[in-house]
Amino acid sequence: QADLFKKLVAHSKEYGFIFQSSEIYDGLAAVYDYGPYGVELKNNIKDYWWAAMVQMHDNIVGLDAAIFMHPKTWKASGHVDAFNDPLVDNKDSKRRFRADQLIEEEIDKIQGKADKEVEKAKKKFGDSFDEALYRTTNPRVLEYTQKAQAINDRLTEAMSKGDMAEMKTIIEDLDITDPDTGSRNWTEVRQFNLMFNTQLGNIAGEEGKLYLRPETAQGIFVNFLNVQKSTRQKIPFGIAQIGKAFRNEIVARQFIFRMREFEQMEMQFFIRPGEEMKWYDYWKQTRMNWHLKIGTPAEKLRFKDHDNLAHYANAAVDIQYEFPFGFKELEGIHSRTNFDLSSHQELSGKKLQYFDPELNENYVPYVVETSVGADRMFLAMMSESLKEESVPDAKGEDSTRVVMKLHPALAPVKVAVLPLLKNREELVKASTDVFNKLKFSFQCQYDEKDAIGRRYRRQDAIGTPYCVTIDFETLENNTVTIRERDSLKQERVHIDRIEEIVRQRVDM
């Protein structure tokens, strides 16, 4: 499983799905960029969510609120005062974060020694210096690097299990003392605000302090009445939004699972007080079905009730997915009561109430929210679909292929159009004609480089469900072969049928 995860990270980079942010400057921790195929896959995930939530529900409407919000928003939501992540406020988690931080600093120190050696050698040997070779052969550099790696592995393992005893042993083994307290018990916890902040215009100090939103939900809450009135919705109704959120995560590991800049797909469903359990159950099931419908196997998904409820919730459950590093949260479903709306009403002095014509009364609605990370969903889809399999090659012998068995609706490229040979003008012309027609319907790709087998492999590696090959027979009777990614079946069909065949599987 650890091996699969490493392969997934390497594959993401090699095939243009995900790059480390600012890589040429050695990257920025826990920040990632989506490459050409990554952005397509992520957009398809977002489209699938939006269609299921907004398009399929006549009582759910969309919103795109700004990332910056009035600073009082975060006072009302509880994010300013609960200086740490309000969802994680049990003692154990805080201690774990602090210990993790100290161990990480130690790892950086050790790795820093290796890097220093390399820098020295670079200066000494100048242009002829082969850094990669030096890193893998110099005994001192190797020793430091391996040591840092070993501690990192232990830490990752302990963190993923929440193994406090092992964390303590690592701290002791490394002889780490807490620089703030001088203690090796590290029970002191430094308060750490997860929100990033910046300054508004030229207003100095607290007055002008602006936060980057740590969740998209608050943009929905403060717009509750604007949306309700402008769309004349009646309770129950929902507001859906996809957007960036920012958290200065302390424990930022595991690739795009925990990032400092990420994207959320959230929906707040406004309901009558007292009806929250009914809707909570409804959204639990509806959201689970959404995950199943895209092909995620049931045994890789489970509900996990929250042990500690956040300050705003009276019921909360996670939908967990079995990532290569274990079952972890993919989506949260929270019954948020009327905490947020009441809080905003109090702090803003503006009424955030709804007049219920059936009950003939005013009330502050209750809210059930569903919140799924677009990036975590992306990682789940990558983990689920990336396979290595043995298939017969052109000569009928066993060969390995790397294939992403993504649901066709999510695939970055739906059809690849491939001329059998690139140096035959008629084939190239016929192929570009097909491509130019299909591109109006799907994300297509034209590829003429390398032997046909290699081109198939490239398409397999990015998850393209169909490859259309134009050969000499095409020139005679307007038929092509269409190859299906998973079954490897090739069928000869008339050019006019390609669109219909592809459409059957790529539409949800």
Task: Consult the annotation and say whether 12 binds a ligand.
Answer: no
State yes or no: residue 258 binds ligand ATP (CB under 6 A).
yes
User: If you ran DSSP here, which 8-state letter would residue 51 be given?
Assistant: I
344 is a contact residue toward ligand ATP (CB under 6 A): no
- Interface residue with ligand ATP, options 247, 272, 287, 414 (CB under 6 A): 247
H or E stretch covering 302: strand 301-305
Name the token pair of 445: 């790709």
Q: To the nearest whole angstrom, how small is the minimum distance from the Cβ of residue 19 to ligand ATP?
A: 17
CA dist 306 → 97, 303, 335 (Å):
19, 10, 12
The residue (of 218 and 264) whose beta carbon lies closer to ligand ATP is 264
Q: What are phi and psi of 441, to 5 degrees?
A: -105, -35
DSSP code, position 68: B
Position of minimal CB gap to ligand ATP: 373
Per CB under 6 A, the segment of 254-262, 296-304, 350-358, 475-483 that binds ligand ATP is 254-262
Instruction: Assess 117 for contact with ligand ATP (CB under 6 A).
Output: no
Nearer to ligand ATP, 332 or 412 (CB): 332
* 268-327 residues near ligand ATP, rule: CB under 6 A: none
Q: What's the CA gap between 170 and 103, in Å, rounded?
A: 8
Q: Interaction with ligand ATP in 66-85: which residues (CB under 6 A)?
A: none
Among 47, 143, 249, 356, binds ligand ATP (CB under 6 A): 249
Minimum Å gap between C-beta 416 and ligand ATP is 31
Under rule CB under 6 A, residue 460 binds ligand ATP: no
**Listed residue (17, 98, 129, 24) closest to 410, CA to CA:** 17
128 annotated as a binding-site residue:
no
Asked if 178 and 102 touch (Cβ cutoff 8 Å), the reply is yes
Does residue 372 interact with ligand ATP by CB under 6 A? yes
Residue 373 Cβ, how far from ligand ATP at the closest point, in Å? 3
Instruction: In whole angstroms, give the CA distance from residue 35 to residue 43.
Output: 12
Of 479, 484, 473, 474, the closest CA to residue 416 belongs to: 484
Q: Which position among 163, 275, 329, 499 is part of the footprint of ligand ATP (CB under 6 A)?
A: 329
Q: Is 375 annotated as a binding residue?
A: yes
Task: Record the tokens describing residue 481, joined without a space.
Answer: 């072969």
- H runs (alpha helix) in 51-162: 72-77, 91-125, 131-137, 139-161
Cα separation, 62 vs 66, whole angstroms: 13
Buried b (16+ CB within 10 A) or exposed e, 296-313: beeebbeeeebeeebebb
Window of 150-158, 205-213, 370-378, 461-469 that interacts with ligand ATP by CB under 6 A = 370-378
Q: Is 348 annotated as belonging to a binding site?
A: no
Q: Which residues are annotated as part of the binding site?
A: 98, 215, 247-249, 257-266, 329-330, 369-376
Residues near ligand ATP (CB under 6 A): 87, 215, 247, 249, 258-259, 262, 264, 329-332, 371-373, 375-376
Q: Which residues are annotated as part of the binding site for ATP?
A: 247-249, 257-262, 329-330, 373-376
